[in-house]
Every structure is written in structure tokens, then in C-alpha cells.
Structure 1
């Protein structure tokens, strides 16, 4: 896998034209300049929630628990198995709480929404601001491939060739990758889409992976890239997803990350993997997201991704 830096300024590419509408919804590209309501959990901004989470867990995570942690640091401070913390709490407080479950419950009680980021390439903001984030079926994407690759720009591409490409991708070695139940992908940290370690910038560059793979089968990898890059602009949507639309397993996962980060911050000798560059914050949503959850959008000018 080789890393590719995609930048309009440095590559000479010019963003495609956008359909008019919703220009007033563009917001700051700098995360620190964006407003985050107090009822929204923004994982990528620990400065907004660190003291607050300590406070809502203070009945279990007391000053004595913190002192006991520092007196005898656990060998492994990890987010997936919090028995290292449950053991300390039981010894000091006298109760085994399952602190990850407790933290998940209190996150949902404390915050109404979870700030997430959805990256795509589009020329039509209205499709998102009017309809929300909707599931796309393979058939939807295949119809889009017809518009892009069967419009006469690629004389060798035919409906028969598209049918063969669809059959190959859905019946061959890509079957497990694309034959999935409806889902929407977001990240809790926009850096996952824009930095080298995040390595998810291909969504900004090409949009749908399935569409890109179809295009590569119909033409060539380079021609498919060029065709998709001519459509619209790389777009990052900032979305405050209601907590009730998020799977419990996702809330638990980030509860563990939060606790790992908090306890690692107690000592200069510790470094949390959570919130570190490249840690990854992909979130799979099983529910469509309503339009009123959209905060705004911006167009990243620099992003990385890798390809074979």
C-alpha cells in the first residue's frame, strides 16, 4: 500500500462545480473554531468533556480511586477490558460497578447527541440537507455509475460491461465487502479522513468505494479516479447524531476510550492510545440520520489516503 497525498493546490486539480443552494451552511474547517452545544458529546474535543466526565462518575471514581491507581499503576491500561479499573474501584469503594456500563449509561444521560463526521464527494448539498443521511443500496450506486460512465465519455463502456462488472464485484472476491446490510459510516474524529495516519481520505477523493471499484472495472483505475474527481468537491459533513440512534456497542466502545484517556492523563508517564493519531474512530450507524442533525459542512483542501 502506498500513501497518496491528494491536494487540489499541489496536484493542480480543480474542484468540480456545485449545484446552488445551502452555501450558507458552510462552517469553519478548523475544529477549534466550531461551536459545540453543551448537550453534544464531541469525542475529538476532550477539553470540552474531560472535567465533566470526571464529575458525573465521581461516586465511583473518587479521589481515593485516582490515588490508588497512581500508587500502583496497572500493567495494561486499555479501553476494551476495564477490569483493571473495576478491580481498583472494588478495592477502594467496595463495589464492583462494571464501570464501562456505568459510563455508557451516564454518557447517554448527560448528552443528547454525539458529534460525528461523514466524508463524501458530492455536487449536491441539498440531497443531504433536505433528506438527511440515507442508506444507499448497490442499485442506487449502479445507477449513478450509468450516469458517470455510460454518458458517451467512455466509448468502450456499455450496459453489458457494467452488468459484468456488477456480477464480478457482487459474486467474486468482493462479495463479502459489498453485500452488506444497510449501514452508514462516520468517524468521531475528522482527522481520520484528512491525515496520513487516518487513511480514509479516499471517501473525500472518490466517494463510494463500490462506485470507484465499478469505475475501475469499466475503464481503468486512473480513468475512474479522474471521472469521479470531476464531480463536485470533497465534502465533510458535521452531524450531531441523536444518542438514541447509536448502537449500544458503539456507546460502550467510546466509554472505554474515554476512561482510558482520563486515567492516562493522570500521569505524565502514561500515554493513551485513545485519541492518539491513527487510533481510528470509525462508527457504523444502523439507522438513517435526519436532516435536522446536520450542523454544517466544509470542503477539506488537503487529505491523504492509500491504495494498491
Structure 2
């Protein structure tokens, strides 16, 4: 279901400020990212660079061997199919996924990504940067929204039970101490089954608490009344990327590059159904925020 900000009767106003930092919603209409910033969906910006960075392993012979006899399964998570082709064509033993990640980290200064939220005030973001989830802050926010007397069944007791139930501080839960981003903006805005709920309702943890303290309908209406859906475009420093994140993208990139060599092959990577979410365990300083935009039409998976 699509959410449209202009027709939402609950939408609230934005505080003024930082209008000069607003950029186009369409990445192809923006200024190109710097050559030392990797931008995943802009294939033309990195295709030849990566073929060049890996030319000692991804030789003409490797490409020819792939085209002559493509593997039955070309997947990004397990690149043993490509490691085997490289060994047969060159005699070199390599973990090409890890090698690609290492060379990307050495070549690029930053990794272009976006963070989605809902806010009525841009100032905290441009002053303090994007911050990892601190559960206590969201819980206080839940108190201010849901325990203000407007919701009949909401209570501090229900909030305590909700906090216990969601268990955001559990290290395996993927919430506390993480900042979530997407490398492909479609995952936030238009992809069915994507992450558009961050834009429509804001913090996922806040939403999860709300539907336990109040009703789902009340929670949705309350959170939709806060400002506007907001996407922050960022250049994440390579040193902030988790050790497992770049190999994940390296696999997706190599799958795409090799599938391009054969007309009939379609890579899952960068397809409309492909996800691109990742997290970093650090706050992202405001200096690394490129700009923001307010999407008006969003696919709401909720």
C-alpha cells in the first residue's frame, strides 16, 4: 500500500531551517558523488573502476571462461563458482569476495547510503549527526507521545511490559547500538516489502512500543502526525563499515558484473526485489550528511 504525505490528514508541520540542504529525491538529478565515494546503484560510476582494481585476477581469460561455460548457480553469498574459474584460468588461489572488499576499502573514502526517518525538526541531525539507537531515549519519547492522557489504555505499566517484550537491548536483536542505512534508496521508498515504514512512522522501536501501549490504529495516527518522511543521504566513511558489510556488497557487485557479460543472465543484485540494508555501530557525524529530501509517495509495508 502506498502512503502519500500530501493526502495524509494526520501529517504535521515541519520546523523551519536547513532548507538549503534539501536535494533532489531522484539521485540522477543530483550532483555526481565524488570519485572516491562508492555509490552502489550508480553502476556506471564503479563498473570500469572495479574491473581495473581486480584486473590481476579478473583477467580476459577469466571472463572468457565464464562466458563459455557459465555456472549453473551464480549467487552473491557464495562466490566459490568464481574462485574456481579464476583458479582454472590463472592458477591463482583467491577469496575474490574478500579481496574485492579489501580493495574497495583501500580505494574508496566513503560509501554512499541513506537513512530514513520521520521528523519535524532537521536541526538535531545537522548539528549532532545520525545517532545509533539508544533505547532509553526512544522509551522517553514513547512516554511523551503515548502517556500524555490521550490514549485510554496507555499506562507506564504497559510501557514497561512493552519494553520487556520487544527486548531492544538484546545484542542479537539488531536494534541497540546500531544505525541502519540502505545502499539503494528504492529499499526505503518504492520497493514492495522494503523499509518504507521508517519513513511513514519513524523509529521502528518507537512503533513497536506504541502498538503494545496503545492500539495499532492509534499508534499509526500519532506517528504520522510528526512532521514529514525524511531521507538523509550520507557518505559513510569506510572505516565505519563493519568487517562483514563490504564483503556482502562485494559479492553482490561481482554477481552483477559477471551477469552483465551474458545477455540472457539476470543478476538478482540491484533488481527491484533486492535489499541493500546494513548497519554501523557508530554515530555518523553531521559532516558526512550530504543532504536530505522528503519523499511524498512511499510504499508502506505495514
Gaps of 5+ in 1: none
**CA distance 1:28–1:13, shift in 2 (3 Å):** same
- In the aligned structure 1, how far is the partner of 2:160 from the partner of 2:97? 48
**CA distance 1:274–1:200, shift in 2 (3 Å):** same
Decide which of 185, 199, 202 is 1:204's aligned counterpart: 199
Q: For 1:254-302, what per-residue CA distance to the aligned partner results, in whole angstroms no more than 9, with x for missing partners?
A: 0111100000000111010111111101102112211111000000111
Show the 5 A alignment for 1:144-155: 144-155=141-152
Q: 1:163 aligns to what?
A: 160
- In the aligned structure 2, how far is the partner of 1:179 from the partner of 1:120? 17
**TM-score, normalised to structure 1's length?**
0.92
Q: 1:34 aligns to what?
A: 30
Gaps of 5+ in 2: none
**TM-score, normalised to structure 2's length?**
0.93
- What secondary structure is seen at the aligned counterpart in 1 of 2:273? coil
Cα RMSD between the aligned structures?
2.0
Runs of 4+ in 1 over 6 A off after TM superposition: 174-177
Say which is worse superposed, 54-63 or 153-162, in terms of deviation.
153-162
* Counterpart contact for 2:189–2:297, Cα < 8 Å: yes
Q: 1:192 aligns to what?
A: 187
The answer as to 2:20 corresponding to 1:18 is no
- What secondary structure is seen at the aligned counterpart in 1 of 2:231? strand
* Counterpart contact for 1:170–1:179, Cα < 8 Å: no
Aligned pair count reads 301
Shift in Å, 1:62 = 1.3
Q: 2:2 aligns to what?
A: 5
Show the 5 A alignment for 1:214-233: 214-233=209-228
* Counterpart contact for 1:198–1:277, Cα < 8 Å: no
Q: For 1:123-168, what per-residue CA distance to the aligned partner results, in whole angstroms no more than 9, with x for missing partners?
A: 1211111111112322111100111122333354333443343344
* Counterpart contact for 2:5–2:228, Cα < 8 Å: no
- In the aligned structure 2, how far is the partner of 1:83 from the partner of 1:136? 36
